[in-house]
Amino acid sequence: MIPSIRQNFNANFTEEKYQNYLSYIKNSLPNALDFKIAETPIFIDQKFTAQLLELGDYVNGKILGKEFKINTQASLDRQPNIPNEPAYPGCIVMDFAIANNSKNELVPKLIELQGFPSLFAFELLQEEALSENYELPKNYSPFLNGYDKEKYIAHLKKMLGGSKGEHTVLLEIHPHQQKTRIDFYCTEKYLNIPIVCISELAQKGNQLFYTRNGISIKIDRIYNRVIMDELDKQPAAIQEKGKLLLNELDISWVTHPHHFFRISKFLMPFLKHPLVPITQFVDQLATIPKNLEDYILKPLFSFAGQGVIIDIQPGDFEKLENPAHWILQEKVHYAECIKTPTGQAKAEIRLFYFWDETQQKYIATMNLARLSKGKMIGVDYNKTATWVGGSLAYFETK
């Protein structure tokens, strides 16, 4: 995006540097990396960064507004009630496309958001690997708002339970089989938080426990990585363990399962901003637009791009089993803004927001980025391409 920096990076790039970059990650946690890593980071200037943060502040203002819980209550209609929901989650992530506006200027466009963790710990390892193997511009950082590695880790530790240690657990379904397991291992490495499969849970009274080395350990706080919809696809034994979470338990959450649904695609129709694509619930459409090529259909309750219909046909609406569970969203045209040796790439930035107790607001702390040359951004849609995949954005600091 910054021509001089991009030109310099591409000119100095070698396949050997890229392989050393990958090896740094793979050797740190063998057999854990299970998704494509892009050959390059992306570099963001101050103007674009300011637009990103302004848009993020607008969205966070809506989440903290009086109408938030009322507007999003219907997102829980098909979900079992899970006790102990706090007013707001400890973290939020937002995905922004790098797009062109009507003046052919690069601008961020909000694509999706979630009240759910992301690769918070893995990005620390990725930043280490990039810094070790590439020559990066000195006045650029993947951190925002004055954060650095130490401050970021300290905030993450505090959010996940501070001194609770083994009494805070990262909870997932078959964690060692997940594509994102490298982030779980990084969480354990940097934050000393044990990884627990939902199958290991046991309840005694109103308390939850897991067992390590024959010792039963009480759980005080859950760092939740379980996609609750995925529980329905599991064997009966796993589903029964999941039902323990429906009980009145002496635990707290980061983030509570309800927030996965409240702060998601479901919130998009309530956001009105020039840099937020127009979004409508399908069951509330007065008429189906004639220019369907300018829209995409998204299921409300899915993740990783599953079920999205990019090239809509008029008959697709009739096939929807429950139109209330779908949104029609204005199509965002990603700018082919990253020059690579194998053609232009598109990019998306995910900002990590943590709740700041002192300021009583969400603060953008770090990020991840994704590069694509296909119709969709997710790494699953770019398996055979080069200069695509998971990456990190570096923001101009001065």
Please write the tens of the pLDDT for every residue from 94-104: 999 999 998 88
How would you list the strands of the sheet with 279-281, edge to edge?
A: 279-281, 326-330, 295-299
Q: What is the mean pLDDT of each run of 10 residues along the chain (398 residues)?
A: 93 98 98 97 97 98 96 93 95 97 93 96 98 96 97 95 80 97 97 96 97 95 93 93 97 96 95 96 94 93 78 93 93 95 96 96 98 74 81 95
Please write the tens of the pLDDT for every residue from 45-89: 999 999 999 999 999 999 999 999 999 999 999 899 999 999 999
pTM given for the model? 0.95
**What is the per-residue pLDDT for 374?**
84
Domains belonging to the chain, first-starting first, are: 3-146+259-277+332-396 (no CATH), 161-254 (3.40.50)
In this prediction, what percent of the chain has a pLDDT beyond 70? 96
Contacts of 293 (CB under 8 A, 6+ apart): 311, 312, 331
Give dist(CA 28, CA 107) in Å, integer. 36
**What is the per-residue pLDDT for 304?**
63
Would you call the peptide bond into 255 cis, given omega within 30 degrees of 0 as the criterion?
yes
In this prediction, what percent of the chain has a pLDDT beyond 90? 88
**What is the per-residue pLDDT for 376?**
64
Give dist(CA 120, CA 149) in Å, integer. 12
